[in-house]
Amino acid sequence: MNYQEINAKAIDRWVEEGWEWGVPIDHETYEKAKNGDWNVLLTPTVPVPHDWFGPLRGKKVLGLASGGGQQMPIFAAIGADCTVLDYSDAQLESERLVSEREGYPIAIVKADMTKPLPFSDASFDLIFHPVSNCYVHEVKPIFKECFRVLKPGGALLSGLDNGINFLFDGEDETTVVNSLPFDPLKNPEQMEQLMRGDLAVEFSHTAEEQIGGQLEAGFILTHLYEDTNGEGRLHELHIPSFFATRARKPGIDEACIAAFWRDVLDQDREALPKWFTPDAEVFWHCTNERFTADEFIRVNCAYPGAWDGEIERIEPTANGFVTAVRVFSRTGETVCRVTSFFTLQNDRIKRLDEYWADDGPAPDWRKSMRIGRPIR
């Protein structure tokens, strides 16, 4: 049995014994959340600031190692599209029970977060990841997977252990008995200490591993706060033992894409350069034309007439966005549509592939078949 199987069984046992992180929220808490009265925890005592989330209605949220029916029901109550991943059967059962009681959908996935996550690239707007890395030997691969499955501009909210608890044996927080790193897979005495206390297989991790690991994965760290155990001598002395981070995956979000299109339609020569990397290229495939960013801006701004448009669809991809836009002259004489594929690099457009087509009626040969119906 590997250490993750040991840990899954330990957590199932703790839940049966009334573990505080395995007690699902009640109906009253769910109803309060629906009315805007809610808080969630990444660490033992400090609620996560609401501005770390942004608007959640309609957003795809992954609860990573976040089973237990405590956080996901809150996000569902305020309109998020939720998925929870955990390896504890008991924690996932709590998620199922709350979702059935309150009548909201949730994708429940049993999996080990130390393995590649079973999701496509750019699947989620937000990952909520409470303290759980202490049950994992290697944390950096987890951050890399989080980066992969987040959409550009998405956020990773993590609760992290700073390692100080591992200096002590059990609840005695007066005498330092362990050295760091605490790694029971390499230190038999530390493994014996854990098993003697009926604990899971746990590991200490440094800030270099946890913050540095997020930065190495490509995240931008935006916020951080510290927290205590919530009880015991360290807590009484106000000694932090946990911290929480908010990290963002670089990327232009949908609002930025809309702003870019506004600058294109306004033919704003001053505003457009900021959207492109210095070596960006634009491809107009229907007319077999290839431009540098500067050439594209010159052509766009020299195009005769005054123009407006409507974004009909924006879809994220692993490295950018696809848009479908209806473009029309303000005189109403010309209407066309363009499908644009944005490839992004460091929050700028690296490549733009566009396919333009004029609006118009179906050809006579197709009308004569008397099939199909108008879309609008």
The DSSP secondary structure of 228-291, one letter per residue, reads --SSHHHHHTT---EEEEEEE-----HHHHHHHHHHHHTT-TTTGGGGEEEEEEEEEGGGTEEE
Distance CA 157, CA 24 (A): 20
Task: Note the pLDDT tens digit of each residue in 305-362.
Answer: 999 999 999 988 877 899 999 999 998 889 999 999 999 877 789 999 999 999 888 8
Residues 6+ positions from 76 with CB-CB distance below 8 Å: 82, 99, 102, 104, 105, 106
CA nearest 71: which of 40, 46, 99, 45? 40
Angle at which helices 207-217 and 140-149 pack, to 10 degrees?
30
Tokens at 186, concatenated: 């390499």
* Residue 278 backbone dihedrals phi, psi, to 5 degrees: -60, -30
Average pLDDT, the chain: 94
64 and 133 Cβ atoms separated by less than 8 Å: no
For residues 274-291, b (16+ Cβ closer than 10 Å) or e, as one string? ebbbeebbbbbeeeeeeb
Q: Which two tokens stand for residue 173?
A: 């927080």
Q: What is the pTM of this model?
A: 0.71
Which pLDDT value is given to residue 320?
84
How many angstroms separate the Cα of 69 from the Cα of each of 76, 109, 229?
Answer: 11, 14, 21
Is cis: bond before 240, omega within 30 of 0?
A: no
CA distance 282 to 275: 12
Q: For the chain, which ranges sit under pLDDT 50?
A: none
Q: What is the pLDDT of residue 153?
A: 81
Instruction: Tokens for 263, please give them.
Output: 């600058």
d(CA 283, CA 246): 36
pLDDT tens, position by position, 35-67: 999 999 999 999 999 999 988 999 999 999 999
Residue in the structure block whose two tokens are 């937000």: 126
pLDDT at 347: 78
Q: 227: which strand partners?
A: 242
**pLDDT of 196:** 86
Q: Give the contacts of 139 (CB within 8 A, at least 6 positions apart).
A: 133, 205, 209, 210, 213
Contact 85, 62 (CB under 8 A): yes
Burial class of residue 248 in the structure, from the number of CB atoms within 10 Å of its CB (0-12 exposed, 13-18 middle, 19+ buried): middle
